[in-house]
Structure 1
Amino acid sequence: MQTFRFVCLRLLTPHQASRQHLNSLLVMSTAAQTPACTGTVTPAECSWKPQYVSGDLFSCPADEALAHCISEDCHMGAGIALLFKRKFKGVPELKEQNKVQGQCAVLTRNQRFIYYLITKKKYSQKPTYDSLRQSLEDMRAHCVDNKVMGISMPRIGCGLDRLQWPKVSEILEEVFKDTNITITVYSLPEKAETTVMTENMRR
């Protein structure tokens, strides 16, 4: 800062270098050095991003919750939803919760939560970005209430449901940016690792 003041004084004549002008320049210099995250903003709000892994979703750490999308009728007859149904069972338990589109049903297995994001009414339909956002917000509320710190998930809504991952990842960031919850997104093993890394560097 001392060097900056000296340069200003050398470049401007006494007539040009009014006290007000120099103060303005110094304020501009100080502002340029101020970090983007200041005040009451937390680091999570400034830098939250999902993490990316290429591999088997079910190989994630045993203390992390799992999440995926289903329909309100809990059909789960294809794709990764079918794997969840075979691995964790519990369809009657899910139906008893009477959750509807835009909400999130929950199973507890081996002291961790399995989240079922209900993004559509029937298995034959397609979700919307709004219904996905609402179900993620419901899941976030449960995570906060139960102190869940980590969730592993596939690229939700982007397989058979045909949503686009760039938009889905934006929604994830908007919903979880003010939390300390880590979300790890697993891609299918056959997906090239370079593609996964490119998605991680999306912005």
Structure 2
Amino acid sequence: MKSNKLYSQALSNNIKKPVTKSEGSKFNLIERQGDLFVNAPQNSSLAHCVSADFRMGKGIASIFKEKFQSVEELVSQKKGVGEVAFLRRNEQYIFYIITKEKYFQKPTRRNFENSLYCLRRLCEELGVKVLSAPKIGTGLDKLPPEFVRKTISKVFDGCDLNMTIFYL
């Protein structure tokens, strides 16, 4: 596949990094106040962080669980930390960014970054151009907001994607 050429395994830390940038593509990150489920564009796919056990009992994850159901479908994908499970609902993808093993743990910076590279690869493979998410990594996961912002910008640099991060 085309996206397989875009990535290579980094020798020192197992993070999948882009080898080249697509000509003419650009990443746009916007942070805005609003309700993700009300204010996200109609053509937007959604993403949020979860644990590999898919408990989703607190925070916005519990809303995703209630709204989209299908926990068994997510579990059956057998994805682990640093990967992304997803559901397809009509023309929309719902991405579950797996940043930690158990719901009560906190993600490492490395696992957070690895999972974002996986998300980038999936967005490119599936043709996702518009993505909306809550403030990932900073709520219950307690990663520093500046680290999260810089990591998102680094990972998606050169990707033809508009990402909006919603906060209340």
Instruction: Compute the TM-score of the two structures, normalised by the length of structure 2.
Output: 0.83
For 1:87, the aligned partner's letter is: K
Unaligned runs of 5+ in 1: 1-39, 189-203
Which has a greater percent of strand? 2
Alpha-carbon separation, structure 2, partners of 1:53 and 1:149: 18
Taking the TM superposition and a 5 Å limit, the aligned residue runs for 1:53-202 are 53-59=32-38, 60-188=40-168
**Deviations 1:117-152, CA, capped at 9 Å, x for gaps:** 000000010011111111111111111111110100
Aligned pairs, how many? Answer: 146
For 2:33, the aligned partner's letter is: S
For 2:59, the aligned partner's letter is: G
Unaligned runs of 5+ in 2: 1-21
**Deviations 1:141-194, CA, capped at 9 Å, x for gaps:** 111111110100011011111111111010111111111101101011xxxxxx
Return the offset for 1:49: 4.3
Q: The residue matched to 2:79 in structure 1 has which SS?
A: coil
In the alignment, structure 1 residue 50 sits paired with structure 2 residue 29:
yes
Instruction: Compute the TM-score of the two structures, normalised by the length of structure 1.
Output: 0.69
Structure with the bigger RCO (C-alpha within 8 Å, sep 6+) is 2
Contact 2:49 2:61 in 1 (8 A): yes
Taking the TM superposition and a 5 Å limit, the aligned residue runs for 1:32-51 are 42=24, 44=26, 48-51=27-30
Alpha-carbon separation, structure 1, partners of 2:69 and 2:23: 41
Alpha-carbon separation, structure 1, partners of 2:37 and 2:80: 26
Alpha-carbon separation, structure 2, partners of 1:156 and 1:93: 22
**Deviations 1:69-119, CA, capped at 9 Å, x for gaps:** 000000000000000000000100000000000000001113210000000
Are the structure 2 counterparts of residues 41 and 147 from structure 1 closer, same or farther at C-alpha, using a change threshold of 3 Å?
closer
Alpha-carbon separation, structure 2, partners of 1:110 and 1:49: 25
Runs of 4+ that moved beyond 6 A: none
Superposed CA RMSD in Å reads 1.4
Q: The residue matched to 2:46 in structure 1 has which SS?
A: strand
Return the offset for 1:42: 4.6
Which has a greater percent of helix? 1
For 2:77, the aligned partner's letter is: Q
- The percent identity for this pair of structures is 40
